[in-house]
Every structure is written in structure tokens, then in C-alpha cells.
Structure 1
Amino acid sequence: MFNKILIANRGEIACRVAATCKRLGIASVAVYSDADAKAKHVAACDEAVHIGGPAAAESYLRIERIIEAARASGAQAVHPGYGFLSENEDFAEACKAAGLVFIGPPVEAIAAMGSKAAAKALMHAAAVPLVPGYHGDDQSPDLLRREADAIGYPVLLKASAGGGGKGMRVVERGEDFAAALASCKREAASSFGNDRVLIEKYLTRPRHVEVQVFADTHGTAVYLFDRDCSVQRRHQKVLEEAPAPGLSDALRRAMGEAAVAAARAVDYVGAGTVEFIMTGDDFYFMEMNTRLQVEHPVTEMVTGHDLVEWQLRVAAGEPLPCTQQQLQLTGHAIEARLYAEHPARGFLPSTGTLKHVRMPDGVEFVTSAHAGGPRAPVRIDSGVREGDTITPFYDPMIAKLIAYGASRTDALQRMSRALQACEVVGPHTNVEFLRRIVASEAFASGDLDTGLIERHRDALFAPSHKPLDAALALACAALLEREGNGEGSAAARASSPWDALAHWRLNGDYRRTFNWNDVESDVQLAVTFVRDRDVQELEYADRRAPFAWWASGAPHEYGATLGHTRVTGRVFIDGDTFHVFCRGEAFAFEWQNLLAHAADAEHGEGRLTAPMPGKVIAVLVASGTKVEKGTPLIVMEAMKMEHTIGAPAAGTVAEVLYEVGDQVADGAQLLVLESE
């Protein structure tokens, strides 16, 4: 076994690998960019080496700097994590040339599976089922169009060297093919340095089911069962679970054996994931990821094995810890990816400082499950802490929540409770969106396919019916406490009433109206606090009810009674914004701040602003261009994903303020549009 390894990654996967190293007594070395100097993964490792600027191309993608760091630190091996250089054959070759063990598959296996087109040919030879499509070398647009026409629409364009949902487009009609192909190639070249694409028949209502495989250098290969990853947005996974619901034992075995056959076809070694697309009981090979997957914790929970430990042992030349017959499924696990993003705005990434973070009670990273002990009900894998900043340079994941139960129903209930306990203040998050999916009938019943979110969009994005009265009562309680008035405050405990004059009157009552702005809906709310000697009441929406409140003594915790209803919750105050968490819901109220919020960039009169920080990669109009509503105007790139900004109304472009290649800040005005 190794004495020291370097982790060539960042965030939660670097923390995850470091946790297993610590448990096994292996020293770990972190690498970090300028943006990550104080990051959690740096603190989690025994040593850390600076490797460059904040952009990935200046740091985490610089092969020579990582190799230098490994050699200087005395590391014997390099764990690539996932993303970045994890499936880069040049990096694996550089490690080998430097005398370092690459904790991953052989270079030849990475190369074979790195090209989707070449991988399809290998799988065809290995008798692994394939979706009808075109995987050829000829990339001329005319030929690609003819192939798409022959396959029949809808078709799926995929970057041949891609992954993670980047460089993918669904084309519904032949007349849309040319524009989709150009966009797909642009994004593929930007993300992977290779604009080759392949075409596949787009299957309607398919499931995305993948199989975890492992192989050692002694000729043994096994599958650690399956995961369902069908719940996706923009071709990126949102919820994953193991095992995949509704698979018969025979189907599960057939998929596992097909996955092992795929691994053997390229003489695979280490951890890999074979991804299938399913319709009914039919399954087809999509691709093989030659690395550990983001969703590997659900497999760890249901098998009781630490997959990172397996990676380390296999890379050190040891045989696999288990045979296929010894592997067993126990219980069910569901993983939710908590992102800093804005679901209501097309899941655009959100940046900013994590001013307040509170996760549900749970175990971080590896648990006693690796030794066959009881699984933790909730596991939390995270690479950030309160006070850290979500930047535009990297993936905006905040944490992964993994819920485990004896059955899928148990795991589902625990996941629901875990999401209700999440509190994040700073960037926008998808917490509420995750809660809605988990609570949806489709997900609860296991009616899964990759179109679940779009098919249930109306319900998942419907206006919320939150306990507004209760939340406002807690906001008022926190405001009163901050001002030093009422029960629970220092003033109320004073020996003399003259020390708490704000709400006390010698004769008559005291009335005060608190003006709140509901940040989520931008609706003004007025709540009147009334105190008549020993009686307190709140007036809201033409209702008046007795009101009492208290601060529990624990940070941010408050309670109140409104009429006959008692409510408790937590309030985090950020300036004049009160973030209220109660009854599993989150609220944000601005106090006495009636400044109008900036309108959504795409609904502003004559003004279009950047919906997120990023780079302008295409300007599709010029000054004087007449446009219709919805006409594409500018294409931006953020976190390697393209975002097209369309005209909010018909009009004439008066001025374009940025050029291709310019970096723009969130909210920056991009052009001026004179509406008709």
C-alpha cells in the first residue's frame, strides 16, 4: 500500500479521498489554485501545494504543475478524482513517465473509452447492445445531416469526447439540425478541445441506469450492482439512487454482466461506470466513464464497501477484496446534489459567499459501512464550509446528501427530512426544487425517466404555498429581539420597565408597522405589531391575532405563538434581510427596504443584462438589427455551459456593449434594445 498520495482535484471529491487516506493511515497531498487557498480540501489534507491561477486551465488542468507537485512532495501515486484530468490519457501517461502510479485505469482503456465513437465500435464487437446511430469519422455537416435524416428524428447530438451533459443537443426537426450542430461543436471544442460529434436515435421516456464495475490486475472483474440516474436537468444528474428501482434479478444480472464484458473488452483496471439507456426491459450502452462517479456514495451505502479504498488497493497491485458471489445488496440509498444555482432561471449557476450553512445531522464521507457495520441514516459529502465563496471558476456544488434506509420508502422519508433541515444563505440554491422532486408522486412511485423534470415542470415550478404567517411571526420576533424588546430579550429581563421603553406606554397602546419585502416574490408585506399593556397582537392581511414570542437562547432560534398556533424556527439576519427557516421551508424578507429589485434580465424594457458571470462567446446581432421576440442575441459561457440570451420583445438593437471573448459580471448590461 502507498505511504503518500497526491489528490489532483478539489472540492468534495478531494475531501472524500482524503478521508479514506486518513482512515488507512496514508498521507495526502492537496493541490490548490489562487481561488482555493483557504478551501476545505486544502485543510483536509496533510500537505498542500499551490499550482496556479483561479481558472482551471491555469491550475487543475496543468499537467506539468501537478506532476511537479507530486514529485516534490514525495507522493508515490496520484488520485485524479473525477472531472478535470481524471479521464485524460496524457495525464495518465505523464504520471507513468514520472514514476507515479495513476490511481485509475490503464492509458489504453482511457483512450479506448474516451472517444464515444470508438467505444461504440468496441462494444459492438463485444456484443454489448447499442442504440442505433452514427459514430463515424466523417464529420462534414452535410453527411451528418443525411445520417440524422436516415436515423429519424428526434436525434441526439453528443460530443464524442464529452461527458457531464456538455456538448449535447436534442434535435426535433431536420430544419433545426444545422444550428444545433454548430452550437454542439462550439461547446464541445470549448469543454474538451475536440469538436467531433456522434448521432444517436433519441429515445422518448428513457431511463438512465448505470453499473459500477471494478477490475484488478489479476484478471478479476466484478459489478457492484446498479444506480438509477434518470432525474436530470440539462443532461446533468440531480438525484441518484441504488439499486435502480423496478429491475428484476434477471435484468440486474444481465446488465451487470454486460458491464463487465464492456470492461473486459478494454482490459480495464480500477473503478469504472458503464452507463446504459433503458426503455422497458431493453438496455443499450451509452458510454463508460473511466473514473469514480459523483454518485458513488449510494453504491457504497448499499454494498457496505469503501470504493476509494478499493481504488487504492487495486492501484497498489492488490486483488479485489470481494468476489462477485460475495457482493450483496442491502437496503436502499438516494443521493441529492445540492447546487448553488437558480432553478427558476433555467438552472443558471449562482455565485457568492456562503454566509450561513447548516446541514442536517449526518456523518461526513466514509462511515462504518465500509467495515460491514450499520449504515448512517444520512451521509453528507461537501467540499465547502460556511464563509467559503462559490466562484464562477468551478462546479457550483455545495454538498451531496445521501439518505439510507432498509427500503426505498425509508430512504425517501429520510431524504425528505434531510432536505427540510438544509439552510443556506448566500447564493441561490436548488434546495426547494429538490424537496419538490422528492415529494412528487412520480419520483415517490418510481416512475422514472430522463424527462421527469420537464414532464412535471408545471408542478415542480408552481407558485409555493408556504406558511407565510408563521414565517412573518418569526421574522418579527427576530427583529424585536434585535432591537432589545419583549420576552427573551435583555431589556425585558431588566429590573425596571424604564430600561425597556420602546414598546411600553404609560397610557394607551403602542402600534408599529413593519414593512417587509418578500424577496422570493418581490411582494410588499405590512405587519402591524400592537402592544396594549400586557397584550401583544399582530395584524396581517386583515387578520389580528394574539402574539407572543421568545428567543430560545441558541443561535438564530426563535419561537412564537400566533393565535392558537405555535411555531418554532431559525432566523439568520444578514443586514436588513431576515432569512427564516421553519416547517421545512425557507423564506427571505427585507425589512424596511422598499428599493425595487432589478427586473429579470430577460424581461427588462430596452435593457438586457448578464444572468450570471461568464464570457461572451458569440454576438449574433449588430447595431441596427431588427429582431423579433425570442431572437437569439448573445451567447454566454459559464462553467463550460452555453446560455443563449434572447430578445424579450420585438425591436431594434441600438448598441452592443461587449465583444466575443469579453468577461462580464453578473448583471452587466450587454446591449441596448429599443422595443417597438
Structure 2
Amino acid sequence: MMKKLLIANRGEIACRVMRTAHKLGVATVAVYSEADADAPHVRLADEAVLLGPAPARDSYLKADLILAAAKKTGADAIHPGYGFLSENADFARACAKAGVTFVGPSPEAIEAMGLKDRAKSLMEKAGVPVTPGYHGTEQDPDHLKTQADLIGYPVLIKAVAGGGGKGMRKVEASDAFLEALESCKREAASSFGDDRVLIEKFISSPRHIEVQVFGDSRGRVVHFFERDCSLQRRHQKVIEEAPAPGMTPNVRAAMCSAAVRAAQAVDYVGAGTVEFIVDGSGPLREDGFYFMEMNTRLQVEHPVTEAVTGTDLVELQLRVASGGSVPQQDQISLSGWAMEARLYAEDPATGFLPSIGPLDYLDLPDTDLANGVRTDSGVRQGGEVSLHYDPMIAKLITFAETREDAIDRLVDVLDTQVRVYPVKTNAGFLRRALTHADFRAGEVDTRFIDARLEELAPKSPPAFSYIAAALRLTDGAGAFATSTDPWSVRDGFRTNSDAVIELGFQAEEARLSVSLKRDKAQLTAQIGDQGYALTDLCLTGSQVHACLDGRTVSARVELRGRGVLVACQGETHLIELYNPAALADALEAGGAIKAPMPGKVLSVPVKAGDAVKKGQTLAVLEAMKMEHALAAPRDGVVESVGASEGSQVGDGAVLVTLADE
């Protein structure tokens, strides 16, 4: 076993690797950028070395600085985590040249699987089924368009060196191909330094099922069964689970055997994931899956596999890197069901734009494996979400005997143990996905989110958030008053009529009033035209529980300024007493298209005087490793353009202004 391990990464994966290393008695070294000087992974490590400025290209992607840190601290091994340099063959070679163990596969295996076109050819030779498509070297746009026309639409354009959904575009028709190709190549060049692409037939009702494989230096390759990662948005995974819904023993055997053959084809050593695109138009079939790619590293979603197999995959990585062996296949068993939800700093109400800034409030569940709950996170309350890195706040993992119980446990975690503010998150979106009838029935494919986006990403806080705020501000409309003095009870009492309290609230752009009406023991709430019957009320400190129209609901409430900070059904909102002046200011700003975060302007395809339609792209911003198209909120005429292509802009910068209607 190595003596000292340097983790060439940051955030939750760095913390996760360190925990296992410490369990094994291995000393750890963190590396960090100036933006991460006080980050949890730096605090957790035995030693830490500053790499450089905040941008990853000046810190976490600088192989020479990382190797210098290993030499300075005497680290004899480097774990790359995922992302950054984890699939960089040159970095793996540099580690070997420096006499440092690279915790991962050989440079040759990384190269073989790192380029999708080459990997497809290898898989065909190994007898692994591959998706029909064009994997050639000719990159002329007209040639690529011709190939796409021959394959038949819809097709996927995919970066040869891509991953994580970047450099990928679905094209529905021939006349949209060249524009999508240009955008795909631009993003691929920015993310991977390589703009080459391949083209694949888009599988209808596709599911994304992957197999965890592991190889050792003795030539043995085993699998740890499958994971289903079909719930995706913009080709990035959102909720993962193990095992896959609807999996049969025969299909599992076929798929896992294909994954093992794929790894054996490149003499694979270490942890890897073979990803398949699966025809989900009906029951899973032995001939209905196709090789998509192999990730030559640990995956973000590895905790669900650990939960259902009882294996610490990082520990196995470290043991294999130190010359150890993987277990025999018959020693690996599958038990129970695990779910993982990725909690991102992003706002579903604004098209999932990343949300950056300070984490004034950050409550996450404690890891409690005995009760089937695990949290992997690399941020802390008082820290911040930076524009320079991936916006993931935490991975929330639950484990139970059945799929239904694992879902229920994860929903309960989101309901009762998650609060993040003022950064916005996708927690409420995750909860709505988990509770959707189709998801609970196991009817999942990669189109699940897009097909139900309006249901999953509503633009206003849950109704009970407003009711809970009203109950907190009025002490439950007198339902919990203990005073014998009727004049001190805030219950809306009046002679000859029912007791009524009405409050006007606003949260973000939503504005409404809540009327609380108490008639003897019955309390009702009115929001617009909708009435709610409240029973079994319990208001204790910061918690509000009630039965709302027969459904048990709860919220965490805290007085703050002119309103109440409410965490309810996975979402955290500041529900403030209505301020008409603030609403007027918001309406006046309606014609300004502002940058939702700092970033680089990639294009502004309009000019002053242009007539534009609602939904038309007015500017494209690059931030947090992704392109974000900013659309016109209404029909109108461009009054002015405030940014140029290539310019860097700050949060709130006005990019385009529409003339008043």
C-alpha cells in the first residue's frame, strides 16, 4: 500500500477519497487553487499545496504543478478523482516517469477509450455491439452532413474527446445540422481542446445503463453489476440508481459480459465504467443495447454501486494500484436498491442556469449508513459556489431493500434535511422527479425530464411555503396561543364574522396573498382561487407540520427581515411581505437581457433595430464550462446591444435591451 496519497482534484470527490485513505492509514495531500484556500478538502487533508489562481487551467489542470506538489510532499501516489486530469494519458505517463503511482488505468487504455471513434472500432473487434453511425476521420462539415443524411435523422453529434454531455447535440432535421455542428465543435474545442466529432443514430426511447468494471494487473476483469443513469438533462446525469429498473437476469448477464470484454480488449487495470445506450421502447432485450463509451475513471455515481454490492470502490482502487487483486466474480453479489440525486447550484425556474454566490445557509443530511443515508459533499456553510468549477453542491444517496423504499427515503431527505440559501438549487426539481408516477413505475428514459419539464420545474414556490410563512408570522393564526388575554392573540378576531388574517407576499417574481380563516377549531387558507383545509397543525420553533387537504406536509421556517425563510418540499425561498415598489422596479427592468452570472460572450446574433420574436436567441454566454443561450422574453425590437463577442461580462451586465412596447 502507498504511504502518502495526493488527490489531484477538489470538492466532494477529493473529500471522499481522503476518507478511505485515512481509513487505510494512508496520509493525504490536497492541492488547491486560490479560490479553494478554505475549502473542506483542504481542511480534511494532512497536507495541502497551493497550485495557483482560481481558473482550472491555471491550477487543477497544471500537471507540472501537481507533480511538483507530489515531489515536495513526498507523495508516492496520485489519485486523479474524476474530471480535470483523470482521463489524461499524458498525465498518467508523467506520473510514471516521476516514479509516482497513478491510481488509474494505463496511458494506453486511457487513449484507446478516450477517443470515441477509436473506441467504437475496438469494441466492434471485441464483439461488443455498437450504435450505427459515422466514426471516420474526415471532418469537413459538408461531408459530416452527408453522413448524417445517410444515417437518417434524428442523429447525435458527439465530440470525439467528449464527456459529461459537453460537445453533444441532437439534430432533428437536415437543415439544422450545420448550425448544431458549429456549436458542438466550438464547445468541444473549449472543453477538450479537440473539436473533432462523430455522428450516431439517435435511439428512440433511449435508456442509459452502465456497468462498473474493475481490472487488476494479473489480467482479471470483473463487473459490479449495472446502474441506470437515464434521468438526464442536457446529457448530464441527474438521478442514478442501482440496479436498473426492469433488468432481467439474461439481459444483465449479456450486458455485464459485454462490459467485461470491452475492458479486456484494452488490458484494463483499475476502476472503469462501460456505458451502453439501451432501447427502452419495450422490455429490455439481450440484443437491445449498444456500446456508447468507456469512462476510464471512477464515476460520480459510484456510491450507488457501493451501496448495493457492499464494496468500497476507492479502497479497491488503492489496493489494485498497489499491486492487489480484484475479487473473484462469484464473490460479488447484488442486494437491495440505491438512489443518488445530484444537488446542483442551479435555478430550474430560469432554465437551470447556474447559481453562484455565498452559502449563507447550508443544511444537508448527515451520513447515516445504518439508516440508509449517505451524503458526499465538498462545500460548507459560509463558503461559496464559484463560477470557476462544476456547480454540484452534494450527492444525496439512499439505500433500502426495495426501489420504492429507496425513493421514499430520498424524498424524505429532500423534504426535511436540505436547506440552501441564497444560492438556488434543483432540490425541488429532484423531489418532483422522484415523486412522479412514471418514475416510481420505473418508466424512465433519457427523454423523461424534457418531456415533463413544465411539471418538474414550476416557476413559483410550493403553496405550503406561503402558508407556512403566514402561520409563522401569525403564530399559527392563534391556533397555538396560550395567553388568556384575548387582545394579545393574533387570530384575526372580529365580532359577528369569522376570524380572518390576510397577508400579501412575494418570493422572487411570484406575488400572492394568503388568507387564514379560523372558525372554531377549523383553519383554512386561501391562495387566489384555491382553498386549503388545514388540520393536525404543529408549530414548534422552526418547524411547521400540517395535514393539507389530507396530505402531510412540513416546512422549516425562520424569521428574516421583512419575511420568513422557508424550506419546503426541497425548495428554499425567502417569502417576504409584499413590497409594491420592488415589483414596479422589476417591471421597469423587463426589457433588459442581463447576464445571469459572470462569463464570456460567445455571440450576440442581433443588432439595434432588429425585430425579434419571443424565444429567439439574443446572446450566447459561456460560464461554468457550459454555453447558455439567452432568449427574448417577448416579441419586440432591439433598442441597443451592450456587449460584443469575446468580451467578459459580470453578473447582471446588460447584454441586450429591448425597446419599450
* TM-score normalised by length of structure 1: 0.87
1:423 Cα shift?
A: 2.1
Percent of aligned positions that are identical: 51
Aligned counterparts, 1:49-64, within 5 A: 49-64=49-64
Superposed CA deviations along residues 368-406 of structure 1, whole A, max 9, x for unmatched, are xxxxxxx64111111112222112111111111111111
Question: Do the aligned partners of residues 460 and 674 (structure 1) sit closer, same or farther apart at CA in structure 2, a change above 3 Å counting?
Answer: same
Q: Report the 3-state secondary structure (helix = DSSP H, G, I; strand = E; otherwise coil) of the residue aligned with 1:111.
A: helix
Q: Tell whether the 8 Å contact from 1:626 to 1:653 is kept in structure 2 after alignment.
A: yes
Structure 2: which amino acid aligns with 1:636?
A: L
* Aligned counterpart, 1:223: 223
Superposed CA deviations along residues 328-369 of structure 1, whole A, max 9, x for unmatched, are 101111111111111132211111222222223533xxx5xx
Q: C-alpha separation between the residues in 2 aligned to 1:315 and 1:48?
A: 22
* Aligned counterpart, 1:371: none
* Aligned counterpart, 1:475: 469
Q: Report the 3-state secondary structure (helix = DSSP H, G, I; strand = E; otherwise coil) of the residue aligned with 1:268.
A: coil
Q: Report the 3-state secondary structure (helix = DSSP H, G, I; strand = E; otherwise coil) of the residue aligned with 2:148.
A: helix
Question: Do the aligned partners of residues 670 and 564 (structure 1) sit closer, same or farther apart at CA in structure 2, a change above 3 Å counting?
Answer: closer
Match of 2:506 among 518, 528, 543: 518
Q: C-alpha separation between the residues in 1 aligned to 2:507 and 2:347?
A: 14
* Aligned counterpart, 1:451: 447
Q: Tell whether the 8 Å contact from 2:511 to 2:578 is kept in structure 1 after alignment.
A: no
1:517 Cα shift?
A: 2.1
**2:612 is aligned with 1:616:** no
Q: Report the 3-state secondary structure (helix = DSSP H, G, I; strand = E; otherwise coil) of the residue aligned with 1:266.
A: coil
1:565 Cα shift?
A: 12
Question: Do the aligned partners of residues 277 and 11 (structure 1) sit closer, same or farther apart at CA in structure 2, a change above 3 Å counting?
Answer: same
Question: Do the aligned partners of residues 516 and 54 (structure 1) sit closer, same or farther apart at CA in structure 2, a change above 3 Å counting?
Answer: farther
Aligned counterparts, 1:32-181, within 5 A: 32-181=32-181
Match of 2:374 among 379, 386, 406: 379
Q: C-alpha separation between the residues in 1 aligned to 2:569 and 2:37?
A: 37
Structure 1: which amino acid aligns with 2:324?
A: E
Question: Do the aligned partners of residues 308 and 559 (structure 1) sit closer, same or farther apart at CA in structure 2, a change above 3 Å counting?
Answer: closer
* Aligned counterpart, 1:423: 419
1:4 Cα shift?
A: 0.8
1:527 Cα shift?
A: 5.2
Q: Tell whether the 8 Å contact from 1:129 to 1:284 is kept in structure 2 after alignment.
A: yes
**2:296 is aligned with 1:295:** no
1:659 Cα shift?
A: 1.9
Q: Tell whether the 8 Å contact from 2:502 to 2:514 is kept in structure 1 after alignment.
A: yes
Q: Tell whether the 8 Å contact from 2:133 to 2:199 is kept in structure 1 after alignment.
A: yes
Question: Do the aligned partners of residues 550 and 408 (structure 1) sit closer, same or farther apart at CA in structure 2, a change above 3 Å counting?
Answer: closer
Structure 1: which amino acid aligns with 2:253?
A: R
* Aligned counterpart, 1:437: 433
Match of 1:336 among 319, 341, 344: 341
**2:581 is aligned with 1:591:** no
Q: C-alpha separation between the residues in 2 aligned to 1:479 and 1:307?
A: 49
* Aligned counterpart, 1:356: 361
Question: Do the aligned partners of residues 124 and 607 (structure 1) sit closer, same or farther apart at CA in structure 2, a change above 3 Å counting?
Answer: same
**2:622 is aligned with 1:634:** no
* Aligned counterpart, 2:644: 659
Q: C-alpha separation between the residues in 2 aligned to 1:173 and 1:24?
A: 54
User: More displaced, 407-416 or 453-462?
Assistant: 453-462
C-alpha root-mean-square deviation of aligned residues, in Å? 3.6
1:33 Cα shift?
A: 1.1
Q: Tell whether the 8 Å contact from 1:617 to 1:636 is kept in structure 2 after alignment.
A: yes
1:649 Cα shift?
A: 4.0
* Aligned counterpart, 1:372: none
Q: C-alpha separation between the residues in 2 aligned to 1:141 and 1:639?
A: 28
Structure 1: which amino acid aligns with 2:506?
A: D
Structure 2: which amino acid aligns with 1:518?
A: Q
Q: Tell whether the 8 Å contact from 1:517 to 1:594 is kept in structure 2 after alignment.
A: no
Q: Report the 3-state secondary structure (helix = DSSP H, G, I; strand = E; otherwise coil) of the residue aligned with 2:128.
A: coil
Q: Report the 3-state secondary structure (helix = DSSP H, G, I; strand = E; otherwise coil) of the residue aligned with 1:160.
A: strand
Count of residue pairs the alignment pairs up: 650
Question: Do the aligned partners of residues 130 and 480 (structure 1) sit closer, same or farther apart at CA in structure 2, a change above 3 Å counting?
Answer: same
* Aligned counterpart, 2:4: 4
1:427 Cα shift?
A: 1.3
Q: Report the 3-state secondary structure (helix = DSSP H, G, I; strand = E; otherwise coil) of the residue aligned with 1:570.
A: strand
Q: Tell whether the 8 Å contact from 1:522 to 1:597 is kept in structure 2 after alignment.
A: no
* Aligned counterpart, 1:211: 211
Q: Tell whether the 8 Å contact from 1:650 to 1:675 is kept in structure 2 after alignment.
A: no
1:521 Cα shift?
A: 5.5
Structure 1: which amino acid aligns with 2:507?
A: V
1:52 Cα shift?
A: 1.1
Superposed CA deviations along residues 165-185 of structure 1, whole A, max 9, x for unmatched, are 001101111111110000000
Question: Do the aligned partners of residues 558 and 128 (structure 1) sit closer, same or farther apart at CA in structure 2, a change above 3 Å counting?
Answer: closer
1:586 Cα shift?
A: 5.2
Q: Report the 3-state secondary structure (helix = DSSP H, G, I; strand = E; otherwise coil) of the residue aligned with 1:167.
A: strand
* Aligned counterpart, 1:393: 388
Q: C-alpha separation between the residues in 2 aligned to 1:548 and 1:214?
A: 53
Question: Do the aligned partners of residues 248 and 592 (structure 1) sit closer, same or farther apart at CA in structure 2, a change above 3 Å counting?
Answer: closer
**2:401 is aligned with 1:409:** no
Q: C-alpha separation between the residues in 2 aligned to 1:257 and 1:548?
A: 54
Q: C-alpha separation between the residues in 2 aligned to 1:164 and 1:25?
A: 33
Question: Do the aligned partners of residues 164 and 325 (structure 1) sit closer, same or farther apart at CA in structure 2, a change above 3 Å counting?
Answer: same
Q: Tell whether the 8 Å contact from 1:536 to 1:548 is kept in structure 2 after alignment.
A: no
Q: Tell whether the 8 Å contact from 2:512 to 2:527 is kept in structure 1 after alignment.
A: no
Give structure 2 stretches of 5+ with no counterpart. Answer: none
1:130 Cα shift?
A: 0.7
* TM-score normalised by length of structure 2: 0.89
Question: Do the aligned partners of residues 327 and 599 (structure 1) sit closer, same or farther apart at CA in structure 2, a change above 3 Å counting?
Answer: farther
* Aligned counterpart, 1:262: 262
Match of 1:285 among 283, 288, 291: 291
Superposed CA deviations along residues 473-494 of structure 1, whole A, max 9, x for unmatched, are 543454468xxx99999xx99x
* Aligned counterpart, 1:318: 324
* Aligned counterpart, 1:579: 565
Superposed CA deviations along residues 422-452 of structure 1, whole A, max 9, x for unmatched, are 2222211111111111111211111111111
* Aligned counterpart, 1:460: 456
